[in-house]
């Protein structure tokens, strides 16, 4: 039996916002606040506060992806997600999923009307449905092929409401280092894709090509807000080039700068079998730094300076002194939260799949953090003789300590990394000076020289390609000072 056409409701989907979803939204914001140092949101066009929307996002980081969408979606509209219908048959889980606005999808049926029954009901009420067309989370240099489920759902909705244009918003979620705590994320809400009655006519004439065409448009929209490379080597070479040329790229430019470098360095049909010296040296530079356990920023100060024992010692002394002054401020937070950090490190070391590391870290944070802070609050209440005022102070202690720790940890963690890098450089230099082992210093100096060579060659190649009309090179050279 086909569904009878209904006029979509003009009421906001927020009116369906349940307490469970509100709790989920607060938890998502908390998770995003705890895990990421910076969250940069870009909206290419304003998103309507009402009306049906389909959201298509890439899916690189398991449970972090829906959390990021829930926490950052414009207009604070609730997002509905798909889940297999069989999960709703589990008594408690089914009620929680339903209350959270999750939509059941019956993949065993051969009827699109039955398959998308709850999806269409949500859209008819002006809801927002956020989907991951790739179907699974992954760790690759490029996105997976997009499946057609969203496109079929869009045309199924238009079949019942041909006069109501449906909008698909492509979303790119880009993590600077997705498995690292206190990394950054860029969320780009792209150009809306409007599926109209004209598209519906094409669908009625020939459904499969129309669906494939819409899926291709959605994939292209997501590509505009993400980083995609043909292979790992090109991705790693582009990352090394970004660090060498621009050090810390602003988050608003991060995706485009990275993708432009990939386009410049990627193999073409004309040179795919020809060795690329610049690309190979960028990869060698990246590999050497990993062996030295240093970052490009750690050796950037030697761009125009020689590596000497005096400079290495002064750098170590200055970085250590700066950190030592700060130790009394952040040491209490470290002492309280060290079990969370320990299990986070274990998750990063033993988790088999990179895309699951962040999820595991969040799970450990909840499993360990909740009883940890509850115990701490209880001990404070006990110390204050179980008074009412003591209870209030103990309860206020939890968010206060968490905020205090998060406010201090980023800068001090960076300072600690500078101390460690300075120590490694100092040891390498001293071992060469006293004759214990000349190899570490030689490797360090080789890395510095290779960095200089790569920087000079990158600037020369970008300027050359920019003059030849390469749009990616033209975009990149605007960030390079004229005197360089």
CATH number of the domain where residue 215 is located: 3.40.1130.10
Instruction: Give the pLDDT confidence score for residue 247 in this predicted structure.
Output: 84
pLDDT of residue 483: 58
| Tally of structural domains, the chain | 3
| Predicted pLDDT at 484 | 60
Half-sphere exposure of 254 (CA within 13 A, CB side): 22
**CB neighbour list of residue 192: distance below 8 Å, 6 or more residues apart:** 45, 47, 167, 168, 169
**Residues 261 and 355 occupy one common structural domain:** no
Domain boundary among 178, 203, 223: 223
Residues 265 and 301 in one domain: no
What is the structure's pLDDT at 5?
Answer: 47
- pLDDT computed for residue 15 by the predictor: 40
For the whole model, what pTM was predicted?
0.91
Length of the chain: 484
Are 193 and 53 contained in the same domain? yes
Query: Is 39 a domain residue?
Result: yes
Query: At which of 180, 201, 223 does a domain end?
Result: 223
Identify whether residues 36 and 112 lie together within a single domain: yes
Same-domain status, 328 and 427: yes
Please report whether residue 443 resides in a domain. no
Q: Does 307 map to a domain?
A: yes
161 and 53 share one domain = yes
Specify if 185 maps to a domain.
yes
- Strands 36-43, 166-175: parallel, antiparallel or unpaired by DSSP? unpaired
Q: Which domain holds residue 20?
A: 13-223
Contacts 24+ apart (CB under 8 A), 207-214: 207/155, 210/155, 211/148, 211/151, 211/152, 211/155, 212/148, 212/151, 214/151, 214/154, 214/155, 214/168
Q: Which residues of the chain have pLDDT under 50?
A: 1-2, 4-16
| Judgement on whether residues 154 and 184 belong to the same structural domain of the protein | yes
What integer pLDDT is reported at residue 274 of this predicted model? 61
| 200/252 same-domain check | no
Whether the Cβ atoms of residue 58 and residue 222 lie closer than 8 Å to each other: yes
Q: How far is CA 155 from CA 181, 202, 216, 242, 380, in A?
A: 40, 10, 15, 42, 59
Q: Is residue 93 part of a domain?
A: yes
Helices (H), 63-206: 64-72, 91-99, 112-115, 117-124, 149-160, 197-205
**What one-character-per-residue DSSP string does 37-59 give?**
EEEEEEESSPPPSSS-EEEEE--
In a domain, 446, yes or no: no
Element (H, E) at 79: strand 79-80
Task: Give yes or no: residues 420 and 280 share one domain.
Answer: no
Q: How much is the pLDDT for 17?
A: 53
Question: What pLDDT sits at residue 317?
Answer: 97
Rounded Cα distance, 132 and 150, in Å? 9
* Domain end call among 190, 223, 256: 223
Residues 68 and 150 in one domain: yes
């Amino acid at each position: 039996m086909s569904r009878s056409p209904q006029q979509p409701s003009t009421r906001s989907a927020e009116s369906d916002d349940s307490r469970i979803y509100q709790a989920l939204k607060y938890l998502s914001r908390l998770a995003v606040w705890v895990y990421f140092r910076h969250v940069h949101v870009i909206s290419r066009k304003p998103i309507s506060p009402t009306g049906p929307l389909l959201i298509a996002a890439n899916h690189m980081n398991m449970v972090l992806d829906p959390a990021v969408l829930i926490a950052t979606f414009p207009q604070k509209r609730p997002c509905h997600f798909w889940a297999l219908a069989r999960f709703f048959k589990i008594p408690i889980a089914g009620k929680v999923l339903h209350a959270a606005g999750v939509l059941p999808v019956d993949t065993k049926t051969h009827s699109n009307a039955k398959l998308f029954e709850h999806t269409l009901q949500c859209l008819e009420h002006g809801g927002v449905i956020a989907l991951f067309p790739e179907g699974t989370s992954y760790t690759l240099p490029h996105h997976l092929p997009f499946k057609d489920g969203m496109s079929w759902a869009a045309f199924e909705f238009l079949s019942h409401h041909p006069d109501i244009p449906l909008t698909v918003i492509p979303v790119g979620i880009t993590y600077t280092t997705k498995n690292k705590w206190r990394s950054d994320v860029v969320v780009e809400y792209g150009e809306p894709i409007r599926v109209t009655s004209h598209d519906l006519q094409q669908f009625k004439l020939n459904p499969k090509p129309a669906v494939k065409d819409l899926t291709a448009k959605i994939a292209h929209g997501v590509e505009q807000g993400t980083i995609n490379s043909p292979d790992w080597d090109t991705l790693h070479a582009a990352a090394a080039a970004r660090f060498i040329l621009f050090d810390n790229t602003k988050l608003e430019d991060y995706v485009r700068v990275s993708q432009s470098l990939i386009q410049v360095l990627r193999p073409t049909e004309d040179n795919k079998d020809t060795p690329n010296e610049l690309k190979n040296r960028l990869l060698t530079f990246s590999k050497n730094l990993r062996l030295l356990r240093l970052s490009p920023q750690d050796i950037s100060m030697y761009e125009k300076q020689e590596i000497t024992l005096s400079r290495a010692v002064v750098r170590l002394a200055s970085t250590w002194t700066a950190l030592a002054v700060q130790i009394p401020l952040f040491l209490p937070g470290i002492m309280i939260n060290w079990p969370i950090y320990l299990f986070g490190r274990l998750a990063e070391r033993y988790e088999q799949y990179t895309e699951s590391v962040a999820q595991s870290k969040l799970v450990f944070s909840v499993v360990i953090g909740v009883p940890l802070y509850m115990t701490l609050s209880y001990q404070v209440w006990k110390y204050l003789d179980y008074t009412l005022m003591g209870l209030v102070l103990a309860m206020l202690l939890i968010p206060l300590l968490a905020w205090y720790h998060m406010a201090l940890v980023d800068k001090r963690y960076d300072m600690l990394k500078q101390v460690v890098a300075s120590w490694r450089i100092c040891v390498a230099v001293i071992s060469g000076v006293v004759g214990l082992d000349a190899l570490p210093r030689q490797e360090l100096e080789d890395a510095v020289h290779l960095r200089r060579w790569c920087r000079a060659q990158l600037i020369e190649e970008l300027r050359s390609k920019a003059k030849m009309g390469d749009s990616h090179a033209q975009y990149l050279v605007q960030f390079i000072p004229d005197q360089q």
